[in-house]
Homo-oligomer: A and B are copies of this chain.
Amino acid sequence: MASEQWQSQEIQHSPTRPFLLLHRLPGFNLSFLPLLQTRYTVLDPLADPPEPLFTAHSKSARVMICLGPTPVTSEDLDKYPAVECIVGSSAGVNHFDLAACRRRGIRVTNAGDTFSDDAADYAVGLMIDVLRRFSSADWFIRSGDWPVKKEYPLGCKVSGKRVGILGLGSIGLRVAKRLEAFGCIIAYNSRKMKPNVQYHYHKNVQDLAANSDILILCCALTNETYHVVNKDVMTALGKDGIIVNVGRGALIDEKELVQFLVQGEIGGAGLDVFENEPNVPGELFALDNVVLSPHRAVVTLESFTRLQELLLGNLEAFYSNKPLQAQIKFE
């Protein structure tokens, strides 16, 4: 997309820059804000100093750009009655009140599969890291222990492991494809059995866990998947079982997970997401069979550039009545 072309198009439709609501949690900043401001009058309720005409202008804004996991509630939509389209930057959709959007006829987009490769790469990396004990090995060397203690404990084999994938969507399928090349045996659980997929389907998460060495969570957080990994699932996974989570923290009952890890009732965990980010349960800091990561599965420098293109493209598409990319289908 050449920006000159876009600008000339826009000027034909509107002599002034259209309003664009920026919806964000404190601390979430838009790196390409200056570029957006050349095309839109960006309205930011968190602007400091406050924008003088924010309340008046925000009532006529037709598009909202929503950063990361910033919640969009029915009350938010009451405040912005002209919004017809929400352009989201996140892979998840659990922060949107989708029922409210549907009622109001608001179209919603997300990051689509922009981050799917990244998240799948990360899940596989976390699995290898936990099994082969990379993070604690790195610390073993940096703390000067190698010449003193000589032997670092052996890790576990990756190849050939039975991997259960929870959520065989665009991320889960990519995880499966990668791990097949390691000779892993793939099974999965999702709401429905997928057509044209040869992996073994378990209707029940507990059955999947009982038949897996590693459980990888790649599903969306919804009312149905909240705490889907509970005490029973962890018991089924067993003492040598490992959990990798690149979905959302609340897919796991985190208090139970901490207990299972501390008491050695599961074998380890690779966690990119937590229930109360950025707070991570302190009990985990002492464990060397746990790899902790600050919610970074779904972003790389490269995919961030792709996301920017997607967001700008959807704003352009909205104003030129073209189809939106990565539009959420309401159920």
Contact = CB atoms under 8 A, between A and B. Distances in A.
A27 interface: yes
B294 A121 contact: no
Contacts of A140: 294
Contact of A117 (B121, B159, B293, B296): B159
Nearest to A301: B154
A291 interface: yes
Contact of A181 (B180, B285, B303): B180
A118 interface: yes
Contact of A118 (B157, B180, B296, B304): B157
Interface string A34-66: 000000000000000000000000000000000
Contacts of A224: none
Interface stretch (A142-150, A199-207, A309-317): A142-150
A34 to B, nearest CB: 19
A146 B147 CA distance: 31
B293 A141 contact: yes
B117 A285 contact: no
A294 B292 CA distance: 21
A121 B132 contact: yes
A302 interface: yes
Q: How large is the interface on A (under 10, 10 to 19, 20 to 34, 35 or more residues)?
A: 35 or more
A146 B282 CA distance: 12
Interface in A267-326: 277-280, 285, 291-294, 296, 299-304
Contacts of A181: 177-178, 180-181
Interface in A118-159: 118, 120-122, 124-126, 128-129, 132-135, 137-142, 146-147, 150, 152, 154-159
A293 B27 CA distance: 35
Contacts of A133: 296
Given A118-B159, A301-B157, A135 B132 contact: no
A132 B300 CA distance: 8
Nearest to A27: B150
Interface string A175-190: 0011011110000000
Contacts of A122: 128, 132
A247 to B, nearest CB: 17
Given A121-B132, A125-B134, A129-B125, A150 B278 contact: yes
Given A122-B132, A138-B293, A157-B301, 9 more contacts: A121-B158, A125-B129, A135-B139, A137-B292, A141-B280, A147-B279, A155-B296, A156-B302, A157-B303
